[in-house]
Amino acid sequence: MPTLPLARRGKKLVSRNSLVEFSYFPTYRGARRAGIHTKVYTTDAWAVIKAAVRQSCPAIDRPTASAFVDQAEEFYRAAANAQSHYGRPLLLYYAFMNLAKALCLHRGNRSVLGKSQHGLEDANNSAADLLNVTLNAYPSNNTVPPPRGPKINVFHEFLVSATGTGLAAQETYLMRDILASSLVGHRLWTEAANSEDRFLKLVSMDIMHDSNSNTLWLRASIKNSSLSKNGLTRAKVTSDGFGPGWRAVRMRGNTGTELAVWEQLQPVTFSHRPSDVLEQLADTARRLFYRSLTTSEPFRSYYVYVPPTGFSKPRQLASRYILLFFLGSVTRYRPADFATYLDGEFGPFLAEFLASEPGQGLFEMACLFVNREVVSVGLA
């Protein structure tokens, strides 16, 4: 095994005598500088979302965005009270679709006003084996003339508003990739797929700082025992998990062999204050890592996903939305297929996804509305 390069010299970033905790939503823009965000503690994510719309949504679209949020909450609560497993998926999809449209308006994207389409297509999947299901996703097309156009697709517009990047062209998603990349219920997926765990939990995610060069970078560590237990090498995790822009490193000094460590290849340079570029670091992390919300400090667990050979790696935000759409579509148009899926090998996974993912997704949506970490000690 080749000798790993030494980790870059630096210290963990500190602000006002406190360690700066890694976050997807690290800063806010003040009058003169970027400030470090604090967490929002709540047991009611809906209240946080509604307050954000009242306070920050462009005034012209505030009533419509509020209506979308109200509709979403009604669908969500109806799903929680559904007496049949056929009712829950469709209600949940419409809940999150309406939240997606509200987020678009909240962030100034008015494309979703008026008649819009789902932007996802569940076609030619009747009686299909779950792993062979394919879903098509379409970008919006603003060049179609009236009366047929423009064609606005909610999924595309949601990605644009939430991540800054939509679909460049039609994309086809394989259901096997979506199932494998779901953090919620992943252990149940491993049982059904006869696979090792493909998610590796990060023991730490540190923001590193070099005051001499005015640079910041991320450094992540994973237990070596997690790699060996799942038959993964550092090289495999580097190439298929972290991907380009990261490298495995060895720590300076005698630090033992308990942890495997990775860091970003290219630090980010700042001119005045480290906080000015924390959002840039967060953006790279949001595109790579997966995370779950917990009810105790630090309220987030981060993971790197190493897909099975030949599998793609959809982003967590997109994967969650696509699976909700598919399950809603199946229960609406092919309920017998849904019953077959529930009775099949992936049935326990699907049941866990429908039970646990909505709470995770709701709090993540709240984070997007307020651009802060929204946490709960009573997450449902």
In the chain, domain spans:
11-37+199-305, 40-176+317-375
Residue 328: closest CA among 121, 72, 90, 125: 90
pTM: 0.93
What's the average model confidence in pLDDT over 62-85?
Answer: 96
pLDDT at 9: 94
Question: What tens digit of pLDDT does each residue of 52-64 get?
Answer: 999 999 999 999 9
Residue in 316, 354, 357 with CA at minimum distance from that of residue 338: 354
pLDDT of residue 247: 96
Report, as an integer, the average pLDDT of 278-294: 93
Question: Residue 212: pLDDT band by 50, 70, 90 thresholds?
Answer: very high
Q: How many CB atoms lie within 10 A of CB 98?
A: 22
DSSP annotation of 39 reads: P
Task: Using alpha carbons, select from 255, 280, 239 the residue that is nearest to residue 204.
Answer: 255
What's the pLDDT at 141?
86
For residue 124, the tally of other CB atoms under 10 A from its CB is 9
**Rounded mean pLDDT, 114-120:** 92
